[in-house]
Amino acid sequence: DSWERASGGVVVELVGGERLRRTFAISTLPLGVLQARGVAFRPELHERKRGALGRLGVGLLNRVILVYSTPFWAEEAHGERCWLRPVVFTGGAQDGGAPLPVGAALEFWNGARFGARVEGPSGRGPAAVALLVGAELARSWEDEASDLHVVQRIDDLFRRMFPGAGSDGASLVASTVTRWGNESASRGAFSFLPPRATPADREVLCRADGGDRPVLFWAGEHCSVQMPATTHGAYDTGVAAAQMAEQHFPLPGRLTNGATIAVSVF
């Protein structure tokens, strides 16, 4: 809920009101949360960092995870393809179902390609992941459609992509729909560079705050210059932030004895 510099370290106030005094903090707050000012910083962040936060963009891309009893799309799962056919909606009769924005696109990730099997309430099976590509489609379903509607719509479309491949005998055993734009812990999906932004803005975001003895370190995919918008980028910046903190606070056991806290929502 808030972060403030204090004598000898930092004080982090949680949503429930609990205040934690620590030697330093590592923030992995997503860019969307930072831009929405979901956390108050005292003192306020440096002007350069506020400028970088304002220039970077946050995109919206939601996922629908469908777990089936058997992979009826197996003829494409045995090859090297981890992506199945993309679908672009034209507004024609073949789209069926509820109206969708013309030009909206779906991409299907082939979980069976990697042997991924997920436990669901009705059984265990391979997963296919639909990516709702394009903010208009992702936002419209996030704001207006129930999980049941989204799952039924994607399930119907996915089965029609593979007619005669045994889809009639495959049951849907589990599903998950993300709503990252409305989620207070994310406020969006991945960062991107609008025309006004540059990779240097990401470098500014990952710089520690606190002068010669910094007490606030930064990590997250939006801080990564080499691999932004990826789990790898988020992980690497977290490792770099921890190493930087250890350089300034090198006492043995400092990172494991409860004297530090990572401000993290993921």
Top pLDDT among 65 and 114 is at: 65
51 versus 102: the higher-pLDDT residue is: 51
| pLDDT of 94 strictly over 70 | no
CATH topology of domain 2-58+191-263: FAD/NAD(P)-binding domain (3.50.50)
Averaged over 193-212, what is the pLDDT?
Answer: 95
Give the DSSP H/E element, type plus range, for residue 47: helix 47-55
pLDDT exceeds cutoff 60 at 97: no
Residue 200: pLDDT over 50: yes
pLDDT for the residue 101: 62
How does residue 263 score in pLDDT terms, banded at 50, 70 and 90?
A: very low
Helix (H, G, I), strand (E, B) or coil at 112: helix
**CB within 8 A of 205, min separation 6: which ones?**
49, 52, 53, 56, 218, 222, 223
Residue 165 is predicted with a pLDDT of 61
The H or E element that residue 117 is part of is strand 117-120
Task: Map residue 102 onto helix, strand or coil.
Answer: coil
**Residue 71, preceding bond cis, omega within 30 degrees?**
no
What would the DSSP string read from start to end of 186-242? TSSS-EE--TT--HHHHHHHTS-BSTTS--EEE-SGGG-SSSTTSHHHHHHHHHHHH
Residue-level pLDDT at 133? 75
Considering the chain, tell me which residue range(s) the CATH 3.50.50.60 domain(s) occupy.
2-58+191-263
* Residue 28, pLDDT above cutoff 90: yes
What average pLDDT does this structure show over 216-238?
96
All residues at 6 or more sequence positions from 7 whose CB lies less than 8 Å from its CB, including other chains: none
Report pLDDT digits (tens) over 145-178.
Answer: 789 988 998 898 888 888 766 677 888 999 999 9
pLDDT of the residue at 137? 79
pLDDT of residue 123: 66
Nearest in space to 157 (alpha carbons), one of 182, 183, 131, 176: 131
Cα pseudo-dihedral 27, 30, 35, 41, rounded to 10: -20
For residue range 243-261, what is the model confidence (pLDDT) as tens digits? 999 999 876 554 454 544 4
pLDDT at 262 over 70: no
Mean pLDDT, range 173-199, rounded to an integer: 94
Which has more pLDDT, 20 or 164? 20
Averaged pLDDT for residues 125-130 = 82
- Mean pLDDT along residues 213-241: 95
